[in-house]
Structure 1
Amino acid sequence: MTSAQASSTDIHLTIAGMNCTSCVGRIEKQLAKLPEVNGVTVNLATESAHISLNSAITIQVLSSAIEQAGYSVATDEVYLNITGMSCASCVGRVEKVLSNLSGVLDVSVNLATESAHVVIAKGCISTAYLIAAIKHAGYDASHNNASGTGGDSENTTLRPALNQDTRHLLISALLAAPMVLGMILDALGYPLMPPAWLQFLLATPIQFWLGARFYRAAWYAIKAGTGNMDLLVALGTSASYGLSVFQLVTQYLNPSTHNMGHYYFEASAVVITLILLGKWLEARAKHQTTAAIRALQALRPDTAIVRQQQGDVRIAIDQIRSGDIVVVKAGEQIPVDGIIVEGSASVDESMISGESLPVQKTMGDTVAGGVINNDALLLIETTAVGAETTLARIIRLVENAQAAKAPVQRLVDKVSMVFVPVVIAIAIATLVSWYLYNGHLQEAIINAVTVLVIACPCALGLATPAAIMTGTGVAARHGILIKDAQALERAHNINTVVFDKTGTLTIGKPRLLNTLAYDNNPKNLLALAAALQSSSDHPLAKAVLDEANSRHISFNVATKPKTLAGRGIRAIVAGTTFILGNTRLMQESQISIAQFETEANELESQGRTISWLAEIGDTPQLIGLLAFGDEIKPTAQSAIDRLHKSGIKTVMITGDNEGSARATATHLGIAEFFANILPDGKAEAIQKLRSANNIVAMVGDGINDAPALAAADVGMAMATGTDVAMHTAGITLMRGDPTLIADAIDISRRSYQKIRQNLFWAFIYNLLGIPLAASGLLGPALAGAAMAFSSVSVICNALLLRRWEPRR
Structure 2
Amino acid sequence: MTTTPAPVIEAVQLDVSGMTCAACAGRVERALNGLEGVSASVNYATERALVAGLSPDRIDEAVARVEKAGYGAHPHDEADDAWSRRATEVRISSLRRRLLISAILTVPLMDITIVLALVPGWRFPGWELVCLLLALPIVGWAAWPFHKATLRNLRHGTVSMDTLVSLGIAASFGWAVATLLFGLGQDGAGYWLGFGVTPEGANSIYLDVAAGMTTFQLAGRYFETRSRRKAGDVLGALNQLAATHVRIRTGDTETVQPATTLHAGDVFVVLPGETVPADGVILEGAAAVDTSMLTGEPVPADLAPGDAVVGGTISTNGRLEVRATSVGAHTQLAQMAALAEQAQARKARVQTLVDRVTSYFVPAVIVLAMLVVAGWMLAGTSFEHAFGIGISVLIIACPCALGLATPTALMVGIGRGATLGILVKGQDALEASGTITTVVLDKTGTLTTGAMTAHQLTPADGVAELELLGAAAAIERGSEHIIARAITAAAERHGIELDPVEGFTAHPGRGASGQIRGEEVLVGNRAFLLEQSIAVPAEADALDGGGVDQAVETSVHVARAGVHLGRIGLRDAIKPDARTAVRALHAQGMKTVLLTGDTPAAAASVAARLGIDTVLAGVMPAQKADAIRSLQEKGERVAMVGDGINDAVALAAADLGLAVVSGSDIALKSADVILVRDDLAVIPDAIGLSRRTLRTIKTNLGWAFGYNIAAIPIAAAGLLNPLIAAGAMALSSVLVVYNSLRLQNFRRSGGD
Does the CA-based 8 Å contact 2:441-2:447 persist in structure 1? Answer: yes
- Of the candidates 483, 486, 491, which is equivalent to residue 543 of structure 1? 486
Structure 1 455/484 Cα, relative in aligned 2: closer, same or farther at 3 Å?
closer
Report the counterpart of residue 143 of structure 1 in structure 2. Answer: 93
CA drift of 1:160 comes to 5.0
- Mapped to 2, the partners of 1:248 and 1:485 lie a distance apart of 43
**Structure 1 contact 496–694 (Cα < 8 Å) conserved:** yes
Q: Deviations over 1:530-552 (max 9, x none)?
A: 65993334xx5532343567483
How many Å separate the matches in 2 of 1:231 and 1:741? 43
Aligned pairs for 1:499-538 (under 5 A) are: 499-508=441-450, 509-514=452-457, 527=472, 534-537=479-482
How large is the RMSD of aligned CA atoms in angstroms?
5.8
In structure 1, the residue corresponding to 2:431 is in which secondary structure? helix
Q: Which amino acid aligns with 2:498?
A: H
SS of equivalent residue, structure 2 residue 366: helix
Deviations, residues 348-388 of structure 1 (Å, cap 9, x unaligned) = xxxxxxxxxxxxxxxxxxxxxxxxxxxxxxxxxxxxxxxxx
Equivalent position of 1:353 in the other structure: none
Q: Deviations over 1:600-636 (max 9, x none)?
A: 4765334552435799xxxxxx999653345543322
Counterpart in 1 of 2:57? 53
User: Which of 150, 162, 171 is equivalent to 2:103?
Assistant: 162
Correspondence 1:458 to 2:400 = yes
Contact 1:505 1:632 in 2 (8 A): yes
Query: What does residue 253 of structure 1 align with?
Result: none
Deviations 1:193-214 (A, max 9, x none): x9xxx99x77677568746854
CA shift for structure 1 position 511? 1.7
Q: CA deviation at 1:740?
A: 0.8
Q: CA deviation at 1:523?
A: 5.8
CA deviation vs aligned residue, 1:88-147 (integer Å, no higher than 9, x gap) = xxxxxxx999971122879xxxxxxxxxxxx9973558958996xxxxxxxxx7737xxx
Q: Matched residues in 2 for 1:230 and 1:663: separation?
A: 60
1:570/1:580 contact within 8 Å kept: yes
The offset of 1:806, in angstroms, is 0.7
- The question of whether the paired residues in 2 share the 8 Å contact of 1:611 and 1:625 is answered with no
Residue 364 (structure 2) pairs with residue 422 (structure 1): yes
CA distance in 1, matches of 2:504, 2:614: 41
* Aligned partner of 2:548 among 605, 627, 635: 605
**Distance change (3 Å), C-alpha of 1:746 and 1:516:** same
Aligned-pair CA distance for 1:223: 4.8
Match of 1:390 in 2: none
CA separation in 1, counterparts of 2:213 and 2:645? 48
Q: Residue 98 and residue 626 in structure 1: after superposition, are their counterparts in 2 closer, same or farther (change >3 A)?
A: farther
Q: Distance in 2 between matches of 1:674 and 1:593?
A: 33
Secondary structure of 2:412's aligned partner:
helix
Does the Cα contact within 8 Å between 2:213 and 2:400 map onto a contact in 1?
no
Q: Deviations over 1:237-282 (max 9, x none)?
A: 7568758977889xxxxxxxx9775999947625415516845995
Distance 1:436 1:684, change over 3 A: closer
User: Pick from 150, 165, 190: which aligns with 1:229?
Assistant: 165
Aligned partner of 2:695 in structure 1 is: 753
Q: Please say if 1:122 is aligned against 2:81.
A: yes
Question: What is aligned with 1:272?
Answer: 206
Match of 1:671 among 603, 607, 613: 613
SS in 2 for 1:807: coil
Q: Among all aligned residue pairs of Structure 1 and Structure 2, give the percentage whose two residues are the same amino acid.
A: 31
Structure 2's unaligned 5+ residue stretches are 1-5, 7-11, 16-34, 39-54, 191-196, 228-346, 515-521, 530-534, 559-563
CA displacement 1:139-181 (0-9 Å, x = unmatched): xx7737xxxxxxxx97x776654342233334434552455x7
Contact kept in structure 2, 1:407 and 1:486, CA below 8 Å:
no
**Matched letter for residue 231 of structure 1:** L
Provide the C-alpha distance between the structure 2 equivalents of 1:98 and 1:579, rounded to a whole number of angstroms.
Answer: 69
Task: Tell me if the contact between 2:99 and 2:215 (Cα under 8 Å) persists in the aligned partners.
Answer: no
| Letter of the 2:729 counterpart | M
Q: How many residues align?
A: 548
Distance 1:170 1:743, change over 3 A: closer
Whether the 8 Å CA contact 1:610–1:627 is kept in 2: the answer is yes
Aligned position for 1:645: 587
CA deviations on 1:441-484 (whole Å, 9 max, x unpaired) are: 55433322211221212333332222222222221222122344
Q: Distance in 1 between matches of 2:544 and 2:114?
A: 82
Q: Structure 1 residues 698 and 785, CA, compared in 2 at 3 Å: closer, same or farther?
A: same
Task: Describe the SS at the equivalent of 1:504.
Answer: helix
Residue number in structure 1 paired with 2:673? 731
Counterpart residue identity of residue 718, structure 2 = G
SS in 2 for 1:445: helix
Amino acid at match of 1:795: V
Q: CA deviation at 1:665?
A: 2.5
2:519 is aligned to none
If the length of structure 1 is used for normalisation, what is the TM-score? Answer: 0.54
Q: Which amino acid aligns with 2:203?
A: A
SS at match of 1:103: strand
The runs of 5 or more residues in structure 1 that have no matched partner are 1-6, 8-12, 17-32, 37-50, 62-94, 107-118, 132-140, 145-152, 183-193, 250-257, 294-404, 562-568, 587-591, 616-621
Structure 2 residue identity aligned to 1:640: V
Residue 416 and residue 535 in structure 1: after superposition, are their counterparts in 2 closer, same or farther (change >3 A)?
same
Tell me: CA distance 1:732–1:437, structure 2 relative to 1, closer, same or farther (3 Å). Answer: same
Moved more, 767-776 or 438-447: 438-447
Paired position in structure 2 for 1:74: none
Instruction: For 1:705 and 1:782, locate their aligned partners in 2 and report how far apart those are by CA, in whole Å.
Output: 55
Instruction: Kindly report which structure 2 residues correspond to 1:385-424, keeping only aligned pairs within 5 A, or say none.
Output: 410=352, 412-413=354-355, 415-416=357-358, 419-424=361-366
Q: Which amino acid aligns with 1:165?
A: T
Change (3 A) 1:499 1:236: closer
C-alpha distance 533-794 of structure 1, shift in aligned 2 (>3 A): farther
What is the CA distance between 1:638 and its match in structure 2?
1.8
Distance change >3 Å, CA 546–CA 205, structure 1 → 2:
closer
After TM superposition, list the pairs within 5 Å mapping 1:132-531 onto structure 2. Answer: 143=93, 161-173=102-114, 175-177=116-118, 179=120, 210=135, 214=139, 223-224=151-152, 225=154, 227-232=163-168, 234-235=170-171, 238=174, 266=200, 269-275=203-209, 278-279=212-213, 410=352, 412-413=354-355, 415-416=357-358, 419-438=361-380, 441-508=383-450, 509-514=452-457, 527=472
| Cα 1:680–1:280 shift into 2, 3 Å | closer
Q: Are 2:72 and 1:101 equivalent residues in the alignment? A: yes
SS at structure 2 position matched to 1:599:
helix
Higher relative contact order (CA 8 A, sep 6+): 2
Question: Aligned letter for 1:427?
Answer: A
C-alpha spacing 1:724/1:558, structure 2 compared with 1 (3 Å):
farther
What amino acid is aligned across from residue 103 of structure 1 in structure 2?
Answer: H
Alpha-carbon distance, 1:641 to partner: 1.4
Evaluate the alpha carbon distance shift between residue 760 and residue 536 of structure 1 in structure 2; reply closer, same or farther with a 3 A threshold: farther
Superposed CA deviations along residues 388-427 of structure 1, whole A, max 9, x for unmatched, are xxxxxxxxxxxxxxxxx98776552465466544323211
Greater alpha carbon shift after TM alignment, 709-718 vs 204-213: 204-213
Would you say the 8 A contact 1:466–1:795 is kept in 2? yes
Q: Which among 541, 552, 557 is matched to residue 498 of structure 2?
A: 552
CA distance, structure 1, for counterparts of residue 589 and residue 627 of structure 2? 21
The 8 Å contact of residues 179 and 204 in structure 2, kept in 1 or not, is answered as no
- The answer to whether the 8 Å contact 1:455/1:766 transfers is yes
Separation in 2 of the partners of 1:698 and 1:220? Answer: 40
Q: Aligned letter for 2:542?
A: E
Question: 1 CA distance for matches of 2:659 and 2:725?
Answer: 48
Question: CA separation in 2, counterparts of 1:560 and 1:790?
Answer: 73
Contact 2:510 2:524 in 1 (8 A): yes
What is aligned with 1:312? none
Amino acid at match of 1:497: V
Task: Report the TM-score, using the length of structure 2 for normalisation.
Answer: 0.58
